[in-house]
Structure 1
Amino acid sequence: MTTDADPAAVGRARTFAAETEPFRRELLAHCYRMAGSAQDAEDLVQETYLRAWRSYAGFEGRSSMRTWLYRIATNVCLSAMTSRPVRLLPSGLTGPVDRADGPPSLAGPGEVSWLEPLPDAWIARPDDDPAAVAVERESVRLALIAGLQHLPPRQRAILILRDVLAFSALETAELLGTTTAAVKSGLQRARVRLDDVGPTDLLEPTDERARALLEGYIAAFERSDARLLEQVLRADATLEATPFRDWQSGRAACIDVLDTYVLGAPGDWRMIATTANGQPAAIVYRRDAGGVLRADGVVVLAVTATGIARVTKCHDPALAASFGFPPALPSSADGVGSTSSGRQVRPFLSR
């Protein structure tokens, strides 16, 4: 037997959705900063909204809706962090390998939980204010997210709430159920530990120079041309790729590994430009033994006015779907990439 829904309950649900949904994307970014995984962040946001709905009847408006939701989301993240391993990049495990004597070594199954990239489309709206978009991009850059994961969870939360989201010390203390003195002390310790998060002069992915560098990097792979890598990588560039433990520092070491073990033959690779973590990126496809271009992961570039400073490749075919791309490309896609069509790549001489 069915009955009509309670009009009061329906109205309450609609009011809840209208009041809370505008904050979903920024809460997703917040949970991503805490967790270092886009998929985990989605789960944490879902749990946040579930808890918020359960407590909605008791919400008295003593704080803003935004502050109330951040309190719930932060505590959901802190609870989750107690049972989840820290997510890292290879550079967070050990020092660089200057010259490879063999293929990069793989981490064992389950040995490391790897940091995951965040599709820009998950947190940005086309009609967002450009200045707000720039700030949002800076707050999810891959080097910053990697650095945050090395902080204890509460210090991580304090730094994000204070320095990224601009909550006051008092508001942060109330969100975390602690004192302002504890917040100030935790923030000071977090800032000291997070003293180096990579280049601070990164170009916006919409910058013409950034697009030219991304095109050059894509062309190097699609044409199997290491000389193009020399044009786009900075002299002090670094290269890391999950799930490999080894990483390289310096243009010569990066090109040596890529040219020896990765580039292969022209046509082995196909890349489609996108953005991730507020940085130029590409969905990577690799030709398999049957000739099919299958998703291989995502590469994210840290791009400056003097060239590409860092290359981070995440080998996970499932990431293509997260960015809205197929697991394999049709045969008609061969030769129609952003640089593989044969047109001249815009020149860019790195220092």
Structure 2
Amino acid sequence: MADDFIRLSDPFRRELLAHCYRMLGSVHDAEDLVQETYLRAWKAYDRFEGRSSLRTWLYRIATSACLTAIEKRTRRPLPTGLGSDCDPADDLVDGGEVPWLEPVPDEAVGADPASIVTERETIRLALVAALQYLPPRQRAVLILRDVLRWSAKEVAELLDTSTPAVNSILQRARAQLTEVTEDAVVEPSDHDQRELLDRYATAFEAKDIPAIVGLFTADVVWEMPPFKSWYRGPDAVATHLAIRCPGDIRVVPTRANGQPAFGLYIGGEPFNLQVLTIGEKGISHVVNFLDTTLFDVFGLPASVAP
């Protein structure tokens, strides 16, 4: 029985991680909840009657676990969700105990670059950040209906409510999400994106600030959790980098949330994980995650030659 459960359930692990991540906004919390989901399912597997598919049953357990977890935690924002942009000449404002949104490796959730754009869009940082503003049940309904394409009846059964109630919750969630989400990003071709990323990496390692900000859009956003301070526009970012850009920089490419990313090293040691949003006119958003525990999550080296 246990062997059957492991064999049949393991193929769903990555998509369940993506589901829990969308709900919670934290790769660490999502990993814990997937483990809890599999433990609960394994203990109850002898009572699984097959009235739904195993995949649906696992999603029921995972969603229930996520809703319980959300009740005990506050939402996970990015700095841009907490206030207006700052003067880069001012001291950085520490976010203190704010539980920040975290990125997730593409490899962990199956959002590889070859997947269709609509699949990658469901895991992008901007969407996951926006989902954090929704009440827990609205969040669950929107993900189950619009991302996983469950029917209203299936969602109603999972949440122990009526189909009309699910449709009403979905309508409110969509309306609220529209208020906080950015416009869809139109990405350049793969060739143009690779060329831009190569230029960005080269400029960063050379500490060539004019070259770095020359790759940005006019309204680029630069943010750095756990600091609340964030900046808008190439001039503001250039001022920030001129003040704080240290020496001996190396960058290692990776991918997060269906987007290009870099592990940035200072003096050979992990410094931050950058997740980039790239549009047709250049780099429009850079989130610098200063939590160096993410390097291990992303399989990045513990150190590099400076």
Ranges in structure 1 where 5+ consecutive residues have no aligned partner: 1-11, 288-292, 335-351
Instruction: State the match for 1:85 in structure 2.
Output: 74
Instruction: State the match for 1:201 in structure 2.
Output: 185
Quick one: distance in 2 between partners of 1:125 and 1:104? Answer: 33
Deviation track 1:279-320 (CA, whole Å, cap 9, x = no partner) reads 000011112xxxxx1011210000111101100010011111
Instruction: State the match for 1:317 in structure 2.
Output: 292
Instruction: State the match for 2:102 in structure 1.
Output: 116
Instruction: State the match for 2:270 in structure 1.
Output: 295
Judged with a 3 Å threshold, the aligned counterparts in structure 2 of structure 1 residues 219 and 125 are, in CA distance, closer, same or farther, namely closer
- The answer as to whether partners of 1:238 and 1:250 remain within 8 angstroms in 2 is yes
- The answer as to whether partners of 2:220 and 2:284 remain within 8 angstroms in 1 is yes
3-state SS of 1:159 partner:
helix
Instruction: State the match for 1:70 in structure 2.
Output: 59
3-state SS of 2:253 partner:
strand
Of the three residues 94, 97, 114, the one matched with 1:106 is: 94
Of the three residues 213, 231, 239, the one matched with 1:230 is: 213
Instruction: State the match for 1:171 in structure 2.
Output: 154
Q: CA deviation at 1:75?
A: 0.3
Quick one: distance in 1 between partners of 2:269 and 2:262? Answer: 14
Ranges in structure 2 where 5+ consecutive residues have no aligned partner: none
Matched, 1:17 2:3: no
Matched, 1:264 2:236: no
Aligned structure 1 segments of 4 or more residues deviating by more than 6 angstroms: none
- The answer as to whether partners of 1:214 and 1:281 remain within 8 angstroms in 2 is no
Quick one: distance in 2 between partners of 1:299 and 1:77? Answer: 27
Count of residue correspondences: 305
Matched, 1:58 2:38: no
- The answer as to whether partners of 2:111 and 2:119 remain within 8 angstroms in 1 is no
Q: CA deviation at 1:66?
A: 1.2
3-state SS of 1:113 partner:
coil
Q: CA deviation at 1:202?
A: 4.1
- The answer as to whether partners of 1:70 and 1:175 remain within 8 angstroms in 2 is no
**Which has the larger Rg?**
1
Q: CA deviation at 1:125?
A: 8.2
Judged with a 3 Å threshold, the aligned counterparts in structure 2 of structure 1 residues 259 and 198 are, in CA distance, closer, same or farther, namely farther
- The answer as to whether partners of 1:238 and 1:247 remain within 8 angstroms in 2 is yes
- The answer as to whether partners of 1:219 and 1:228 remain within 8 angstroms in 2 is no
Instruction: State the match for 1:192 in structure 2.
Output: 175
Quick one: distance in 2 between partners of 1:217 and 1:103? Answer: 26
**RMSD, matched Cα:** 1.8
- The answer as to whether partners of 1:202 and 1:302 remain within 8 angstroms in 2 is no
Quick one: distance in 1 between partners of 2:208 and 2:183? Answer: 26
Q: TM-score, normalised by structure 1?
A: 0.83
3-state SS of 1:87 partner:
coil
Judged with a 3 Å threshold, the aligned counterparts in structure 2 of structure 1 residues 85 and 53 are, in CA distance, closer, same or farther, namely same
Q: CA deviation at 1:104?
A: 2.0
Quick one: distance in 2 between partners of 1:199 and 1:229? Answer: 24
3-state SS of 1:81 partner:
helix
Judged with a 3 Å threshold, the aligned counterparts in structure 2 of structure 1 residues 202 and 259 are, in CA distance, closer, same or farther, namely farther
Deviation track 1:55-89 (CA, whole Å, cap 9, x = no partner) reads 11111111111111111100000011111221111
Q: CA deviation at 1:157?
A: 0.4
- The answer as to whether partners of 2:89 and 2:239 remain within 8 angstroms in 1 is no
Q: TM-score, normalised by structure 2?
A: 0.95
Instruction: State the match for 1:340 in structure 2.
Output: none
* Paired residue type of 2:88: A
Judged with a 3 Å threshold, the aligned counterparts in structure 2 of structure 1 residues 199 and 217 are, in CA distance, closer, same or farther, namely farther
- The answer as to whether partners of 2:224 and 2:290 remain within 8 angstroms in 1 is yes
